[in-house]
Amino acid sequence: MSGTSTLSGAASAPDSGALPALTVEGLEVSVRTEGGLRPLVSGLSFTLARGETLAIAGESGSGKSITSLAIMGLLPPPAVRITGGRIKLGRTELTDLPEGRMRAIRGDRVAMIFQEPMTSLNPVLTIGTQLAEAIRAHETVSKAEARARALEALRSVRLSQPERRLDQYPHELSGGMRQRVMIAMALALRPEVLIADEPTTALDVTVQREVLDLLRDLQRELGTAIILITHDMGVVAEMADRVIVMRDGRMVEEGPVRQIFADPQADYTRALLAAVPRMGAGRGRPPVEAEPIARLSDLQVRFDLKGGLLGRTQARVHAVEHVSFDIRRGETFALVGESGCGKSTIAKAMVGLVPHEGRIEIGGQTLGTLDAAGRKALRRRLQIVFQDPMAALDPRMRIGDLIAEPLVIHGIGTPDERRARVGDLLTRVGLSPAQMERYPHEFSGGQRQRICIARALALQPELIIADESVSALDVSVQARVLDLLAALKREFGIALLFISHDMAVVENVSDRVAVMYLGQIVEMGSRDQVFGNPRHPYTRRLIEAVPVPDPTHQRPATPRLAGEIPSPVHPVGSGPERVRLTDVGGGHLVAM
Q: Supply the pLDDT for residue 236.
A: 92
DSSP label at residue 158: T
Task: Kindly write down the DSSP assignment for every residue of 489-536, as one continuous string.
Answer: HHHHT-EEEEEES-HHHHHHH-SEEEEEETTEEEEEEEHHHHHHS--S
CA distance 523 to 271: 35
Cα angle value 174/176/181 (rounded, 5°): 95
CA distance 591 to 16: 46
Task: Kindly write down the DSSP assignment for every residue of 178-239, as one continuous string.
Answer: HHHHHHHHHHTT--SEEEEESTTTTS-HHHHHHHHHHHHHHHHHH--EEEEEES-HHHHHHH
- Band of the pLDDT at 115, cuts 50, 70, 90? confident
Residues 23-82 pLDDT 10s:
999 999 999 988 889 999 999 999 999 999 999 998 888 899 899 999 999 998 888 999
Which residue ranges make up each domain of the chain? Answer: 22-274, 292-381+461-545+562-581
Q: Does 434 score more than 70 pLDDT?
A: yes
Mean of the pLDDT values across residues 410-437? 93
CA distance 325 to 514: 9
- β pairing state of 520-526 and 569-571: unpaired
Cβ pair 568, 321 in contact under 8 A: no
DSSP label at residue 438: S
Cα angle value 71/74/78 (rounded, 5°): 120
For residue 255, what are the β-bridge partners? Answer: 243
3-state secondary structure of 14: coil
Q: Does 143 score more than 50 pLDDT?
A: yes
Q: Does 571 score more than 70 pLDDT?
A: no
How would you list the strands of the sheet with 312-328, edge to edge? 365-366, 357-362, 292-307, 312-328, 569-571
CA distance 75 to 68: 9
Q: Which residue type, as a one-letter code, is found at position 208?
A: Q
Cα angle value 555/557/561 (rounded, 5°): 110
* Averaged pLDDT score across all residues of the chain: 86
Q: Supply the pLDDT for residue 222.
A: 85
3-state secondary structure of 384: strand
Cα angle value 574/344/475 (rounded, 5°): 140
- β pairing state of 569-571 and 312-328: antiparallel
Cβ pair 516, 336 in contact under 8 A: yes
Superfamily of domain 292-381+461-545+562-581 in the CATH hierarchy:
P-loop containing nucleotide triphosphate hydrolases (3.40.50.300)
User: What's the length of the chain?
Assistant: 592
More confident residue, 85 or 471: 85
Q: Supply the pLDDT for residue 1.
A: 37
Q: Does 308 score more than 80 pLDDT?
A: no
Cα angle value 223/226/230 (rounded, 5°): 155
CA distance 568 to 386: 24
Q: Supply the pLDDT for residue 471.
A: 75
Q: Supply the pLDDT for residue 17.
A: 57
More confident residue, 414 or 15: 414
3-state secondary structure of 8: coil
Q: Does 588 score more than 90 pLDDT?
A: no
Superfamily of domain 22-274 in the CATH hierarchy:
P-loop containing nucleotide triphosphate hydrolases (3.40.50.300)
Q: Supply the pLDDT for residue 176.
A: 72
Mean of the pLDDT values across residues 228-250? 92
Q: Supply the pLDDT for residue 233.
A: 86
DSSP label at residue 114: -
Q: Does 9 score more than 60 pLDDT?
A: no
Residues 377-394 pLDDT 10s:
888 899 999 877 888 899
More confident residue, 10 or 196: 196
- Band of the pLDDT at 202, cuts 50, 70, 90? low
* Fold match between domain 22-274 and domain 292-381+461-545+562-581: yes
CA distance 317 to 77: 45
For the ranges 151-160, 175-184, 393-402, the maximum mean pLDDT occurs at: 393-402
Separation in Å, CA 277 to CA 370, 483, 561: 41, 12, 25
From 59-73, 181-195, 563-577, the region with the lowest mean pLDDT? 563-577
Q: Does 585 score more than 50 pLDDT?
A: no
Q: Supply the pLDDT for residue 587.
A: 38
CA distance 4 to 247: 35
Residues 451-491 pLDDT 10s:
999 999 999 899 999 988 887 677 877 888 888 888 888 88
**Dihedral class, residue 33 (left if φ above 0, else alpha if ψ from -120 to 50, else beta):** beta
- Band of the pLDDT at 531, cuts 50, 70, 90? very high
